[in-house]
Structure 1
């Protein structure tokens, strides 16, 4: 099976450890174990005692009943048997695509987005149409363009809502029209939903609550600030879940008892996590807005309170070369836009700690002055 290099991951694997100011990631500042414990009612002693007494067997194959119960609470009409624990959303996306896509199938993927959603189908021999996002349309792809490229035989439409790298969001009205288009040909919609909009201004239902052939991938990594547990989940209707359940047995046994325990505890106390992360997103986005207002060589279609953004750079230099030089001279890490097949842009992950963000943006501005 031939598959393209994973552009973003390949970039971070090479350069991440060289950064002084890492403002490239799309997670919200990761929590320590101590912070995780403080989100709920347990004392540190009680939590650690439970952890120390965990038997290190395989645990629950599909995720503990407690974990599945908490995941179900995130949706309107999901039953525990529809929830399969995975190795992050990456594992969930892989299972969905590998389980349903065959050579010759037609797949539509929004683009750019998380690379799995179009390059895995390509590697499986699918005919992949790219549904391009538009900066002038708040980085959303146009639904009328989808109507032009969809076919009677289209097997799946892949979306990332909210979108990585831009932070754009498909709201309920948009999603309902998308579902209408997909249902006309019976296509699945795979929706990678790892980013929660931390705003009350828009309603963003899950695809599983709108469409019987909707498939959800999600994880603890972004919204919940614990990428270290590597726990995700996939949800679909009962029939599709049986396909995923069979494939899952070939790719993993379990996520691990400690990972399940921590993920479950975080989900049980999600409101405290949401409060923490909403504060980080709002305060750091305000820092970015102030910086953009004063920085003549950067423009930004601001994200909908999502932890990732996609800045446009006004520089007479190839984007990846710019980002390497910036890192080497100033210690500032961005992800060059060409890793999303959009040169001239860069992913700015602004939800690190505020001091790192401020210093990183300051050094980035100093670097940009050479082009004035």
Structure 2
């Protein structure tokens, strides 16, 4: 199987560990396990004794029931049997696409988004049709264009909501329009929802699985819950026939997730209100810092994020995105991601949910770097 290089992951792999001011990070400021234990209020010694006494078996093949019940609590009307755990959200997307998509299928995907959602179908021999989101439209889907793209041959529509890298959030009413469109041609909808729950206004936003019986939602412990190191993700669907197929494909790629990871994942989700309280505070305070900075620098612009942890920032300098970002890294070990990783030039993705200090220093370095471009 031939597949295109995963641009954003290759960029992160090459530079992330050398960065001092990492404002490319997409997770809310990562927690240590000690912080999670303290936040949850459980007895540290009892928990550690429990973990140290655990036998390192495969554990529950379809996922620890305690964890799956905690995941179900993130949705309305979802039960344990609607959930499969995976190795990260990336594993969930990969499993869904490899289960559903076959050579010759028509796939409709939006860009910018996580590259899995269009490069994996393409590698499987699908006919991939992409719609580029426009800054002028607040990076929301153009429903007229989407209706022109989706027809009776469409097998699956791939979305990312909230959007990575723009922070746009498709309103529930628009999502219902997309569901109506998918229903009209009996197409699946895969919605990568790894940033779901990080709305700036704190409101509840419906998952695709709450709107559509052929909807599949994917998520993880990484972005919203600050625990990327657990490598835990999941997919959710109410489509029983599809779930059987997903489980069958899963046998070939995952078997099970780590038993220790599942304990800490369950602990975090059982205390989701405390974790979200911490993380919403971080993204709200940090977005104000970023927004003030953008407004003070006329050569930069963006659509202010509604949700998530990232923004796509455009700049007015005659330099490619790759050159801009490598130059910034060389200048001060300050790390952002080229917009070209998402097919958008003259821009970069910033992750504004790092620690407050890192964000402030990173923006200072960015300002100083740009003085040399003028």
Shorter-chain TM-score bucket reads over 0.9
1:25-40 matches, within 5 Å, as 25-40=25-40
List runs of 5+ in structure 2 lacking aligned partners: none
Residue number in structure 2 paired with 1:211: 212
Cα shift readout 1:170-217 (whole Å, capped 9, x = no counterpart) = 111010001001100000000000002333375520000000000011
Partner SS, residue 2 of structure 2: coil
| Aligned 8 A contact 2:27 2:222 in 1 | yes
Partner SS, residue 107 of structure 2: strand
Computed over aligned residues only, the root mean square deviation of the Cα atoms, in angstroms, reads 1.1
Alignment match of 1:319 (pick from 308, 321, 324): 321
| Aligned 8 A contact 1:104 1:125 in 2 | yes
Residue number in structure 1 paired with 2:89: 89
Partner SS, residue 133 of structure 2: strand
Residue number in structure 1 paired with 2:258: 256
Residue number in structure 2 paired with 1:24: 24
Residue number in structure 2 paired with 1:297: 299
Residue number in structure 2 paired with 1:199: 200
- TM-score normalised by structure 2 residue count: 0.97
1:68-147 matches, within 5 Å, as 68-147=68-147
1:322 and 1:72 mapped to 2: Cα distance?
Answer: 42
| Aligned 8 A contact 2:169 2:307 in 1 | no
| Aligned 8 A contact 1:198 1:281 in 2 | no
1:165-314 matches, within 5 Å, as 165-196=165-196, 197-200=198-201, 203-236=204-237, 237-314=239-316
- TM-score normalised by structure 1 residue count: 0.98
| Aligned 8 A contact 1:154 1:185 in 2 | yes
| Aligned 8 A contact 1:231 1:263 in 2 | yes
Partner SS, residue 157 of structure 1: strand
2:298 and 2:131 mapped to 1: Cα distance?
Answer: 31
Bigger shift: 4-13 or 232-241? 232-241
Partner SS, residue 158 of structure 1: strand
1:21 and 1:241 mapped to 2: Cα distance?
Answer: 42
1:4 and 1:160 mapped to 2: Cα distance?
Answer: 20
Residue number in structure 2 paired with 1:336: 338
Cα shift readout 1:138-196 (whole Å, capped 9, x = no counterpart) = 11121111001111110000001001111100111010001001100000000000002
1:171 and 1:59 mapped to 2: Cα distance?
Answer: 39
List runs of 5+ in structure 1 lacking aligned partners: none
2:199 and 2:39 mapped to 1: Cα distance?
Answer: 18
1:62 and 1:38 mapped to 2: Cα distance?
Answer: 29
1:305 and 1:241 mapped to 2: Cα distance?
Answer: 29
Partner SS, residue 251 of structure 2: helix
| Aligned 8 A contact 1:170 1:204 in 2 | no
- The number of aligned residues is 372
1:203 and 1:185 mapped to 2: Cα distance?
Answer: 29
1:283 and 1:233 mapped to 2: Cα distance?
Answer: 29
